């Protein structure tokens, strides 16, 4: 039982490049979330999903897209990376009102 | 909007000292309150939670009481250990805002415990 895993762990991008962050969970959770963590700002919700095939915007969705084609996977895409997207990205999953379980994070640097 | 305010860190304590990390919140409804902990290089883990006023959450020697009258959820531990060094996040979730458990986090407080 791996819990929540994230790929990659670290990535460096140039401005304008694209990439996809992968989150996978093996707990059969319906709900999945993407957050970004920035110094002095805590965690902010980017997008979330309440089930396979659904997505919704969070607090800071601009510049990101997501997809939930399979229940266990939640992908976060950056179509044209900007330096302002340098951050640590965390994925989490949960049952409806239950505890959120977090992955180990992906550190992204955009030059 | 809803928000969580935590004391700024870092908090530096000697082992066996008493810990308090302050957390206050602003919410339009009736939130559930949480403390998450992030150890170096890891994701966040739930430490404790309280779902209604006067509830006390506890885990691993940490405690926090949901105080509606002061809109607070301060984290306490009687005797900290070096292994408690981490970043602590206070968070809230509004009840009745849909089935997705959306959390609003504070900015985090770094705790450093020394021998």
Q: Which residues pair with A102 in a beta bridge?
A: A92
Residue B109 forms contact with A (CB below 8 Å): no
Question: What is the model's pLDDT at position B22?
Answer: 96
Contacts by residues A47-54 (CB-CB < 8 Å, ≥ 24 positions apart) = A47/A76, A48/B100, A48/B102, A49/A74, A50/B98, A50/B99, A50/B100
Does B59 score more than 70 pLDDT?
Answer: yes
Using pLDDT thresholds of 50, 70 and 90, give the confidence band for residue B17.
very high
Residues from chain B contacting residue A90 (CB–CB below 8 Å) = 43-44
Number of H helices and E strands in chain A, helices first, is 0, 11
Tell me if chain B has a CB within 8 Å of the CB of A45.
yes
Would you state the structure tokens that stand for residue B50, as one six-digit string?
A: 């309280």
- Count Cβ neighbours within 10 Å for each residue of B43-58 and write b for 16 or more, e otherwise: bbebbbbbeeeeeebe
In whole angstroms, give the CA distance from residue B64 to residue B67. Answer: 9
Look at residue A77 and give its three-state secondary structure.
Answer: strand
Nearest CA in chain B to A33: B102
pLDDT per position as a tens digit, A29-66: 999 999 999 988 889 999 999 999 999 999 899 999 99
CA–CA gap between residue A105 and residue A111 (Å, rounded): 19
Contact A58 B102 (CB under 8 A): yes
């Amino acid at each position: 039982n791996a819990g929540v895993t994230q790929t990659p762990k670290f990535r460096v991008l140039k401005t304008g490049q694209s990439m996809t962050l992968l989150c996978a969970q093996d707990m059969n959770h319906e709900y999945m979330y993407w957050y970004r963590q920035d110094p002095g700002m805590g965690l902010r919700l980017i997008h979330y999903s309440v089930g396979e095939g659904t997505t919704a915007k969070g607090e800071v969705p601009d510049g990101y897209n997501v997809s939930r084609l399979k229940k266990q996977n939640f992908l976060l895409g950056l179509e044209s990376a900007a330096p302002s997207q340098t951050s640590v990205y965390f994925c989490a999953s949960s049952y409806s009102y239950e505890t959120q379980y977090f992955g180990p994070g992906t550190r992204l640097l955009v030059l | 909007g809803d928000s969580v305010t935590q004391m700024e860190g870092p908090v530096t304590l000697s082992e066996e000292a008493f810990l308090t990390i302050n957390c206050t919140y602003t919410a339009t409804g009736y939130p559930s309150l949480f403390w998450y902990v992030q150890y170096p290089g890891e994701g966040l883990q739930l430490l404790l939670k309280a779902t209604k006023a006067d509830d006390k959450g506890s885990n691993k020697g940490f405690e926090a009481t949901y105080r509606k009258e002061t809109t607070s959820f301060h984290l306490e531990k009687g005797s900290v250990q070096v292994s408690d060094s981490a970043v602590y996040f206070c968070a809230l979730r509004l009840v009745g805002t849909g089935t997705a458990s959306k959390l609003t986090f504070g900015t985090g407080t770094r705790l450093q415990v020394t021998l």
